């Protein structure tokens, strides 16, 4: 995976932790923009995982 996507996925995971732990302090619009921007990296991650599982 591209290093930039790995960094974006780390940010996405941190967002998930924030959503779970501090849901009352979330800016919905910011979350929506971030998810839309990072979704391409999530798709790339899923593609890598699927390719690796198909090899096994």
The encoded tokens of residue 23 equal 């849901």
Instruction: Please give the backbone phi and psi of residue 29, each rounded to the nearest 5 degrees, phi first.
Output: -65, -40
DSSP 2: -
The answer to whether the CB of 44 falls within 8 A of the CB of 5 is: yes
Q: Look at the chain and report how many structural domains it folds into.
A: 1
The pLDDT tens digits for 5-21 are 888 888 888 877 777 77
Percent of the chain with pLDDT over 90: 0
Which ranges of 1-56 would DSSP assign to H, the alpha helix? 3-21, 28-55
User: What is each CA distance from 22 to 14, 16, 17, 25, 53, in whole angstroms?
Assistant: 12, 10, 8, 6, 34
Give this prediction's pTM: 0.53
């Amino acid at each position: 995976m591209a290093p930039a996507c790995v960094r974006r996925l780390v940010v996405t995971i941190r967002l998930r932790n924030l959503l779970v732990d501090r849901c009352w302090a979330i800016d919905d619009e910011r979350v929506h923009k971030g998810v839309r921007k990072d979704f391409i990296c999530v798709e790339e991650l899923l593609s890598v995982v699927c390719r690796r599982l198909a090899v096994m």
